[in-house]
Amino acid sequence: LKWAAIEKLPTYNRLRTSLMPALAEDDVYGNQILNKEVDVTKLDGEERQKFIDMVFKVAEQDNERILTKLRNRIDRVGIQLPTVEVRFDHLTVKADCYTGDRSLPSLTNSVRNMGESILGMVGIQLAKKQQLTILKDVSGIVKPSRMSLLLGPPASGKTSLLLALAGKLDKSLDVSGEVTYNGHGLNEFVPIKTSAYISQNDLHVGIMTVKETL
């Protein structure tokens, strides 16, 4: 009856209203937990956590179920979701770094780096750094609704390329070239609202081929 009453509400109110199992002891009738009407935009922290735990009891299964239901609803009403095409043209990334023993992460080098950084603020440069090219004149397109697989040997710049596409490269790097989302540069919008870089989790069998791993 409560749900039937909610369905009769105006569209704006109906979208903000739902039923959730009550948390207070006063809302428990015998062994039955009563549902209460809530405004989903005004849930407190405990209610939000309870909702997440209820919906995603088994993350792998429930996540797919929620996404499938959402996809079916979108297809049923014929809504076409916006897509994003990522282009990178003549992308070059360079870094100034130490070489040889000077690049080792030792206590002595750490102290020297700290001292030289302080002297560098007043324009005194003691040690010369060598410029290392991480990516050189890389161009390509990541088309929407397609899975892209990035392969390469260790230290070939795979992570740097992904970070560049996500707009998360370190500010100390020398970057040239252009990265656009649907023709818009990274300075024209907030990249983290459109894309995200998720670091890898190396839980794989080293002797398996790429095809076997996939």
* Same-domain check for residues 95 and 55: no
Query: Using CA atoms in the order 181, 187, 188, 189, what is the torsion angle rounded to 10 degrees?
Result: 70
The confidence score (pLDDT) of residue 140 equals 93
Residue 24 belongs to some domain of the structure: yes
Q: Answer yes or no: is 179 within a domain.
A: yes
Same domain, 65 and 91: no
Number of domains in the chain: 2
Is the entire prediction scored with pTM above 0.85?
Answer: no
The parts of the chain modelled with pLDDT lower than 70 are: 1, 21-34, 59, 125-127, 201-204
Alpha helices in 78-166 (DSSP H): 107-120, 158-166
Task: Look at residue 122 and tell me if it is in a domain.
Answer: no
Burial, 8: exposed, middle or buried (Cβ in 10 Å; 0-12, 13-18, 19+)?
A: exposed
- Pair (44, 136) in one structural domain: no
Q: Tell me if 144 is assigned to some domain.
A: yes
Chosen domain end from 77, 110, 140? 77
73 and 92 part of one domain: no
Q: Which domain holds residue 90?
A: 86-100+131-213
**Residue 112 counted as domain residue:** no
Q: Is residue 2 within 8 Å of residue 20, measured between CB atoms?
A: no
Q: What pLDDT shows up at residue 28?
A: 47
Do residues 178 and 153 share a domain? Answer: yes
191 and 94 in one domain? yes
117 located within any domain: no
Q: What is the pLDDT at residue 50?
A: 78
**Are 92 and 174 contained in the same domain?**
yes
Looking at the chain, list the stretches that DSSP marks H as alpha helix, in order from N- to C-terminal side. 2-7, 11-16, 45-55, 59-77, 107-120, 158-166, 210-213
Residue 105 falls inside a structural domain: no
Q: Residue 93: its pLDDT value, please?
A: 93
Residue 17 shares a structural domain with residue 94: no
Residues 41 and 60 in one domain: yes
Cα distances (angstroms) measured from residue 174 to each of 66, 95, 132, 164, 187: 42, 6, 10, 11, 16
Both 94 and 172 in one domain: the answer is: yes
Task: Kindly state whether residue 202 falls inside one of the protein's structural domains.
Answer: yes
Same domain membership, residue 30 and residue 136: no
CATH code, domain carrying 170: 3.40.50.300
Based on the domain organization, do 60 and 96 belong to the same domain? no
